[in-house]
Structure formats: C-alpha cells, structure tokens
Structure 1
Amino acid sequence: MVEAPAEPALQVVRGEPEALLSEAEARRVDFVWSAVMVGVLGLVFALLSVFGGVAIPVLLALATAYVLNPVVTGLERRGVDRTWGTSAVFVACTLVTAGGVLYLVPVFRDEATKLPEFFVRASSQVVPQVESLLGRPLPDLLRQRMTELGGRASELLQSAGPTAARLVASFAGNTARFVATLLGLLVVPVLAFFFLQDYPRLVELVRGLVPRRAERLVSQRFAEVDDVLSAFVRGQVTVGAILSVLYSTGLGFARIDMAIVIGFIAGFGNMVPYLGTGVGVVLALLGVMLSWQGAWQLAVVVGTFVVGQMAEGFIITPRVVGDKVGLSSMAVIIAILAFGELFGFTGILLAVPTTAILKVVLRVVVERYQKTSVYTGEKPTP
C-alpha cells in the first residue's frame, strides 16, 4: 500500500497570516525576518568570497534541488516514492543533458571555426556594403580601423584555442587546485540528489525553528520569496530557451552564418534587458551584409526579431514569468553592474535573484513602517 505523500513544507497558509498576532508582534516578526534574510544573503556572499571552492558546489546543488523540487513533489503527490521520483528526474535530466551536449557541441565547434573568417570578411566586405547604401565613400581612417579590427579579431580567435589549452595545462599543473575543482564539479550532482531527496525534511527543519505564533506569517513571507525566485529561475531560463530556438530558426531560414550562435546570444542574453537583443540584432545585420542574397534576407531577420520581441512581451513572459519578479529594466541593469563589480562573475549570476529577494524584504519593511504611529501620526493604542 502506497503511503499518502506528505504535504509540501512551508506551504502558503490560507487565510490571514496575522490572525494570531497583534500589530506590534507582526511588525516585530517581519522586521526580524527581514534582518535574517539580509544576513543570510550577506553570509552567502561572504562564503563565496572566502570559501568559494566549497560554497559554490553546495550552492549549485541547492539551486538544482530547488529548481527540480516541484517536479519531484508532483510525482510524490501521484503516489511515487520520493527516492524513486528523485532518481527518475535525475536520469531524465542526465539523458536530456547528454543529448543536448552531443548535439550542440559539434554544432558550436563548427560555428566557432567560422569566426576568424567571419571577422576577416566583415572587415573587407562590410565597408563597401555601407558605402553602397550611403552612396558615398567612408573616411580613410574609418576604413583602416575596420580592416585592423577585423584582422586583430581573427588573430585573437585563432590564438584562443592554444591559449586556452595552455591555461588548462597550467591549471592542471597545480594538482591541488585541479583536484579540488574536479571534485567540486563531481560532487554537485551527488549533493543535489540528496538535497532533493531530503528537501521536505530540510525545509521542515527550518520551519520547526520558527516560533509557533509567528509560523503563519513567516511561512507567508517565505512563500512570497519562493514566488519571486521561481518566477526568475524557472521563468527566465524558459523564456531564454524559447527565444533562442525562435531566433536560431529564423536566422537559419535567412541563411545567416552562425545563426545558432547568434540565436543563443540573443535569446539567453535577454536576461539582461536590451543587451542580448541589441547584440543579436547587430550580429544578425552583420551576417546579412556578409551573405547578401537579396532584400528578403533583411526582411526575414527583421521579422524574426520583431516576432520574437512581440512574443516575449505579449505571450511568453506574461504566461511563463508573470509579474512576480516585478523588477524594472533599469533596476536589473544597475544590479548586474553593481554585483558584478563587487563579486565578479558570481555576483553577475546572483544579482537579479538577490535583488528580487531584497525587493520583497524592502516591501515588507515599508508596509510595516506605514502602519506605525511615526508614519500615520496617530497615537499608539495601549
């Protein structure tokens, strides 16, 4: 007989979460919760700065468990044992990843071999194309700089392979660092499996530390954070994948060189507002100039990006992401620049999720402040 699956931990509590608390108690709970969330984020970045070799694999494993938990929980609700459900999800992810790698690696390798020739052709053919469109010659200085830029880019790309090989050899020569990195990468799936298997117990452990009277309100706050994180992590990745396929298909139909690479840059680059689309449009127009076969190519490229942006704005994002993240484009750009400056590449990866969590914390603090006598001007009730 199959046991009924346990209720998901830290579920959203229906009804008013503050029913058991006075306003002063609820305000104190929210302020303490906000301080704990900010402290946890600070601790995460401190651990990444000091113990990156250990902290990064653990965080990657936790992130993997968080992303896959809804799938395993859905299987559990249908009567599948959580261990078997976790195993099935990991086997499916492994097969999908292996298939994607086996297909995409040769494709990207073939596309990468075209890059040096692409830049050489760009430096020699784009200027005449631009001059023919303008009907006048460009300044000699600009023509010279374009030629030098194309040559240097080609030389850089041709030397990128040997340089990368030397870096890998140098890194591998430091045996301790190489072994630590390799073990860190190998341990991520193992940790993720056990985190995913014990996810309800881990969350229940945290929930058990919350004072009983404050449990409903704290559960509600964590549910709000979960909405923000799930909207970003699952939503943005899904949007990026859909846009990448759409752009790659459209550019491939237009017979543009490196259509798949440009499509992936434009699709997943959409996580940074305007940047991914802007770079994708520039690269696609450059590809049109280098493989000009008629005005139909330009129409297909323009149509591809117009359809992609309209689908992203009116269909994909509203249905997949919704309004849960609620961060403006300017806030996302500033967050990426600031966290990237402070914490490097890791900061860039964590910038938007961290900012989204801080947005929830700030909203809670502001809501509580607006209910105080300092804001309303009313005398506090005894």
Structure 2
Amino acid sequence: MTTNTRWFWLALFSVSCILLYLLAPILLPFVAGALLAYLGDPLVDRLETYKISRTNSVVIVFVVVFSIMLPFFIILIPLLEDQIQAFFKKVPTYLTWMTTSAEPLLERLGIAVPAIDAESVGKTLSQEWSVAGSFIKSLIGTVSRSGLAVMGWLANLVLIPVITFYLLRDWDKLVAYIRELLPRNVEPKFAMLAKESDEMLGAFLRGQLMVMLALGAMYSVGLAIVGVNFALLIGIIAGIISFIPYMGLIVGIAIASIAALVETQSFMMVVWVIVVFSVAQMVEGMLLTPLLVGDRIGLHPVAVIFAVLAGGQLFGFFGILLALPVFAVLAVLLRHAHDSYLESQIYRI
C-alpha cells in the first residue's frame, strides 16, 4: 500500500468519525433501521428462493412481524402501564424503608448513604402522578411542555419502519454497490473481513436479541410465581439490559430484593428472588447462549461493558445502540491485525 493510499484511507476514516459525531443526534432512526434491515435480510433472502420478488418478500416479512408483535404489545403495554402506576405509588414506601431499615444497617457496615428526604420525594411523586393521572395524560402534558421534542421523537418513531423497508428492499444492491467501489487490490481482503464480521454480527445480534427476550420472560414468570410485586416490570428491565454482561442479573436481583423485602419483611423472599435469577442464568449459560449465540463471538465481558459505556459517553443513546455492532467488527479487525503482527518482521526481530 503506497503512502498516498494510506493517507487517503486515514483521511476518509477521520472525516467519517467527525461526521458521525456531528450528526449523531439525527442518526438514531437510520441506525435503528439499518440494524432491523440487517436482522431481516436473511428472512427476505429465504423468501426470494421461492421465486417471490424482493419487494413482495419485504412486505410479507413486515406483515408477519407486525401481526406477531401487535397482539403482544396490545396485551403487554396495559399491563406495564398498571405496574408503572403502582410502582410510582410504592416509591415513597421504598424510600421510607431505605431510611429506616437499610440505611442504619449500611452505616454499621461503614457504607456512607446519601441523605434522602423520603417524605418530600413521596409528596413530589404523588403530586406529579395526580396531575398526570395516567400514561396518556402524562404524554399529553409532555407534548404541551416540549412539543418540538416530542414531535421529533414521534418523527423518529415513524421514520424507523420507513427506513427499514427501503434499506431491506435494496440491501443486496447496497452491499454490491459498496463492494464495487472498493479498490480492486483490497477488495478480496475487505470481502473476507466483511464475511467474518457478518458471521460475528449475525450470531451476536440475532442470538442476543432472542436471549434477552427469553431472559425477560423467565425473570417475569419466575418472580410472579414466588410472589414479587412488579414482576413483569422488573423482568423486562433486567432482560433488556442483559446485553451488558451480568448487568441485568445485578440490577434485577437488587430491584426485586428491595421490592420483596419491603412487601414481606422476610429475607426468605430474597432467597427465592436469588433462586429465580440463578436458575434463569443457568438456563442462559447452559442452553440459550450456546444454542442461540454460539461460541463465535469471543467478546470479553469487560470489553463489552467498556464498549457500551464509551459509546454512551461519546454519542449518547445512539452510541449505545451502535457500540456492540461496531465493537464486534473491530474485534474481527483486531484479530487479523494481531495475526499479521505475529507474522511480521517487527515481531520476529
């Protein structure tokens, strides 16, 4: 590779990073649409093998996915709304328990606890909830206070399926077009790296999404069986953040344990909470992850946590969404760079 070529790629990479940073606030629907299109492309390709046109295949995938998800959300959202309402009403009770029971115990252990005015926080939440009344009223109030922000959020929400549809319809053409633009001398190397990255990303994104859904369901059902309040809400939260290694487990146990202790005043309920999460983790480790994700990822848990935190720090929620896919690709590149280094004259000196 000549010096001019190296400078060209360095300049292209630098400009791309700067544009990503500057355009991050508007890129969320495009990144979400691209990820959804990437996830849906194998399904569309499979339908094309049955002599169905690309556009019709995309329409079929959209209709099937929408038909599956709509009843799910129709049932889930009202249940979640009820649990969120009940949770807000219980927050003052939890804060009171923290100040009267947990805080003295932590202080005896030498752990400093910030002062929390439970009564003041409780009154504030009660006033806010009485004004809002429900999720819909709260949304209307938010629109009245910051209409532009909410309109922007709604616009992004509408844009995601539109962007997903067009990207999914033209996905193969876009991939072929990018491949044609590559210099001929580097195209085979790029194609090999892209294939390995695709295998890693496909295994991670599709598999991890299924693992998150399965964990959320197991957490929710298990906590409901042992009698923990807000089982659905806690299970969904723990399942969603389980893509960060051990974070879903830690946060889920902490929230469920506090809810169980406040409601029952029995440490036996905490034991049952730990049993629920332990069983779910064993199922994930021995069955779900090997079956759905496999061993092709090779991303160290500490590296995953760093990637998520770094993405959030640099680009906000857009960065969190993009962190793991980018890191998975970088892992492939770093592995090849490592192999090239071991074969180089620099290493053999």
TM-score range, shorter chain: 0.7 to 0.9
Identical counterparts, % of pairs:
30
Letter in 2 for 1:171: S
- Counterpart position of 1:110: 82
**Rounded Cα–Cα distance in structure 2 between residues aligned with 1:150 and 1:224:** 56
- Counterpart position of 2:231: 259
- Counterpart position of 2:322: 350
| Local SS of the residue matching 2:264 | coil
1:181-260 correspondence runs (5 A): 182-212=154-184, 214-260=186-232
Greater radius of gyration (CA): 1
Aligned partner (choices 260, 279, 283) of residue 307 of structure 1:
279
| Residue 124 of structure 2 is aligned to residue 155 of structure 1 | yes
- Counterpart position of 1:375: 347
Q: Which has the higher contact order (CA 8 A, sep 6+)?
A: 1
- Counterpart position of 1:275: 247
The Cα offsets for residues 56-95 of structure 1, whole Å up to 9 and x where unpaired, read as 3322222221110011111222333322211110011222
The structural deviation recorded for 1:281 is 0.4
Aligned partner (choices 134, 138, 143) of residue 168 of structure 1:
143
**Rounded Cα–Cα distance in structure 1 between residues aligned with 2:330 and 2:215:** 28
Q: How many residues align?
A: 337
Letter in 2 for 1:286: I
**Rounded Cα–Cα distance in structure 1 between residues aligned with 2:88 and 2:28:** 35
- Counterpart position of 1:319: 291
Cα 1:90–1:118 shift into 2, 3 Å: same
The 10-residue stretch of structure 1 (347-356 or 278-287) with the greater mean CA deviation from structure 2: 347-356
- Counterpart position of 1:335: 307
The Cα offsets for residues 264-291 of structure 1, whole Å up to 9 and x where unpaired, read as 1111211122222111101111122133
The structural deviation recorded for 1:154 is 6.4
- Counterpart position of 2:61: 89
- Counterpart position of 2:135: none
The 10-residue stretch of structure 1 (69-78 or 181-190) with the greater mean CA deviation from structure 2: 181-190
8 Å CA contact 1:332, 1:352 repeated in 2: yes
8 Å CA contact 1:229, 1:353 repeated in 2: yes
The structural deviation recorded for 1:214 is 4.5
TM-score, normalising length from structure 2? Answer: 0.82
Cα 1:90–1:375 shift into 2, 3 Å: same
8 Å CA contact 2:238, 2:251 repeated in 1: yes
Structure 1: give runs of 5+ residues left out of the alignment. 1-27, 378-382
CA RMSD in angstroms comes to 3.5
- Counterpart position of 2:51: 79
**Rounded Cα–Cα distance in structure 2 between residues aligned with 1:67 and 1:168:** 33
Counting helix residues as a fraction of each chain, which structure ranks higher?
2
**Rounded Cα–Cα distance in structure 2 between residues aligned with 1:274 and 1:144:** 26
